[in-house]
A and B are shown apart, each in its own frame.
Chain A
Amino acid sequence: DVVMTQSPLSLPVTLGQPASISCRSSQSLVYSDGNTYLNWFQQRPGQSPRRLIYKVSNRDSGVPARFSGSGSGTDFTLKISRVEAEDVGVYYCMQGSHWPPYTFGQGTKLEIK
């Protein structure tokens, strides 16, 4: 199984400042079709996860432009250019290139300093 490792696990950020979350996979996530199936999810307190980014860098509909995804192979990053209060929650990466099983990172808890 592909192991997904996120860092940091806790991320205190000042409002208006940037934030960055790293996700590393135990093997390359490049699929045989040439795509890399790496997603990012946001889970606000008391809510279901919401997908923000699919295939490394594609923002879902309605996701603010301050969220961006990048990376390749085994190293991926979610960046928030300027953190807002509504960004508080837990962020997860998930791989879908080598399933079953789909696997998730441990989650990164973003809080406001």
Chain B
Amino acid sequence: EVQLLESGGGLVQPGGSLRLSCAASGFTFSNYAMSWVRQTAGKGLEWVSSISDSGGDTYYADSVKGRFTISRDNSKNTLYVQMNSLRAEDTALYYCVNIDWGYWGQGTLVTVSS
């Protein structure tokens, strides 16, 4: 059974940093690109970032470019996103997603507020 388990969310002040993790199991993690997608009440679903299977290629939404860094450790079957210079508009539920196969995690909530 495929599982994507996100962690690392929480409350952070504007300008702060947070690192989210996603532990994958049930499929050959190193064979697939992985992504982060976030969901807010006001803006629905928004793609945030993707990384190739090897980690050599990364892609970002304009809204997070220069502030977020996606990475992966294939030896640990884990996906990460380092989020810096956080803003109130980054408040959302962040999902780890295997877009190719349509697998979504349960999400981790990030709240940016003073």
Stretch at the interface among A13-21, A76-84, A94-102: A94-102
Question: Which of A41, A49, A100, A103 contacts B59, CB < 8 Å?
Answer: A100
- Report yes or no: B99 in contact with A102, Cβ–Cβ below 8 A: yes
Given contacts A48-B106, A60-B102, A104 and B60 within 8 Å (CB-CB):
no
CA distance A94 to B102 in the complex (A): 11
A-B CB pair tally, cutoff 8 Å: 46
Q: How large is the interface on A (under 10, 10 to 19, 20 to 34, 35 or more residues)?
A: 20 to 34
| Interface class of chain B by DSSP | strand
Nearest Cβ distance between residue A91 and chain B, in whole angstroms? 11
| Interface class of chain A by DSSP | loop
Given contacts A48-B95, A51-B102, A100 and B50 within 8 Å (CB-CB):
yes
- Residues of chain A having any CB pair with chain B under 8 Å: 39, 41, 48-51, 54, 60, 92, 94, 96, 99-107
